[in-house]
């Protein structure tokens, strides 16, 4: 289940929606330079009522209808570069402050990326040696993507839904086109019996 959604992204602003977790009192945000970074850095605890960074000049209401908590912050307030892609995770905290779980990595785009030029986005990392789809590496994107292509050094299993189906892609030096016309916001990937380096290329489905 997806736990983070990007509501707005502007220079010096991340407007984030966190899916509520039963029994959680607050939510710890972590950031990393890549989706498979070994250790993400803790940088902010968001109260259950939401959070607005004092450095953010925004009058948006923190109240969100439904099962979500809103957090508005300036990445610079926490030493996070605002000029390159980075990644977020969230850990719900119980009443003692202990982490209940940790989410998948969610991509944070550079502000105003896209414009009228439909740029290609590229990610690289390692697909884990997982026994099945439930333990695949889940990668969440901040919006719908298209023209999805994957290149890997060995065979990988790929899915776009937690229930499948999975597609087995043989290792190939040339990227394989697996989502030309449909759009995707999450990918699940695992190595076929080994940890497999891979790269994925895609574009924004919508730029406005």
Q: What is the CATH number of the domain that holds 130?
A: 2.60.120.10
Q: Both 93 and 13 in a single domain?
A: yes
CB 173 within 8 A of CB 72: no
Please check whether residue 16 lies inside any domain of the structure: yes
- Residue 12 and residue 95 in one domain: yes
11, 103: one domain: yes
* 104: containing domain: 4-108
H/E stretch holding 5:
strand 4-10
Q: List C-alpha distances in Å: 74 to 150, 173, 192, 206.
A: 32, 39, 40, 24
- Can you give the pLDDT at residue 206? 73
Q: Which alpha helices (H) appear in the chain, and where do they start and end?
A: none
Which one of 108, 137, 171 terminates a domain?
108
Which segments of the chain have a pLDDT < 50?
Answer: 116
Written as six digits, the tokens of 19 are 């899916």
191 shares a domain with 101: no
- Please indicate, yes or no, if residue 115 is contained in any of the structural domains: no
* 49 and 136 in a common domain: no
Q: Are residues 35 and 8 in the same domain?
A: yes
Tally of structural domains, the chain: 2
What is the pLDDT at residue 115?
52
**Contact residues for 1 (Cβ-Cβ < 8 A; gap 6+):** 19, 162
CATH number of domain containing 44 = 2.60.40.10
Give the model's pLDDT for residue 83: 84
Q: What DSSP string runs through 28-58? A: EEEEESSTT-SSPEEEEEEETT-EE-TT---
Among 108, 140, 159, the domain-final residue is 108
Cβ density class 78-115: b for 16+ within 10 Å, e for less: eebebeebbbbbbbbbeeeeeeeeebbbbbbbbeeebe
Q: How far apart are CA 111 and CA 12, in angstroms?
A: 8
Asked whether the beta carbons of 35 and 123 are under 8 A apart, the reply is yes
Q: Are residues 13 and 66 both part of a single domain?
A: yes
Token pair for 73: 């912050």
Quick one: pLDDT at residue 59?
Answer: 64
Judgement on whether residues 102 and 124 belong to the same structural domain of the protein: no
Is 133 a member of any domain? yes
Supply the pTM of this predicted model: 0.90
Looking from the CA of 154 toward its CB, the CA atoms found within 13 Å total: 12
Residue 114 domain-assigned (yes or no): no
Say yes or no: 124 and 101 in one domain.
Answer: no
Provide the pLDDT for residue 204: 84
d(CA 104, CA 162): 12
């Amino acid at each position: 289940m997806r736990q983070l959604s990007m509501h707005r992204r502007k220079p010096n602003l991340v407007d984030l929606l966190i899916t509520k977790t039963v029994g959680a009192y607050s939510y710890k945000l972590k950031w990393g330079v890549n989706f498979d970074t070994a250790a993400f850095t803790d940088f902010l605890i968001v109260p259950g009522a939401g959070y607005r960074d004092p450095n953010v000049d925004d009058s948006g209401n923190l109240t969100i209808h439904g099962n979500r908590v809103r957090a508005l912050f300036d990445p610079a307030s926490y030493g996070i570069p605002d000029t390159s892609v980075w990644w977020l995770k969230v850990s719900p905290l119980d009443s003692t402050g202990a982490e209940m779980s940790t989410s998948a990595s969610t991509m944070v785009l550079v502000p105003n990326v896209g414009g009228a030029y439909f740029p290609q986005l590229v990610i690289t990392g390692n697909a884990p040696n997982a026994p099945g789809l439930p333990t695949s590496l889940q990668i969440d994107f901040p919006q719908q993507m298209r023209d999805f292509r994957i290149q890997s050094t060995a065979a990988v299993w790929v899915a776009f839904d937690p229930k499948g189906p999975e597609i087995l892609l043989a290792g190939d030096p040339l990227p394989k086109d697996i989502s030309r016309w449909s759009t995707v916001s999450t990918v699940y990937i695992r190595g076929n019996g080994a940890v497999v380096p891979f790269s994925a290329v895609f574009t924004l489905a919508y730029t406005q």
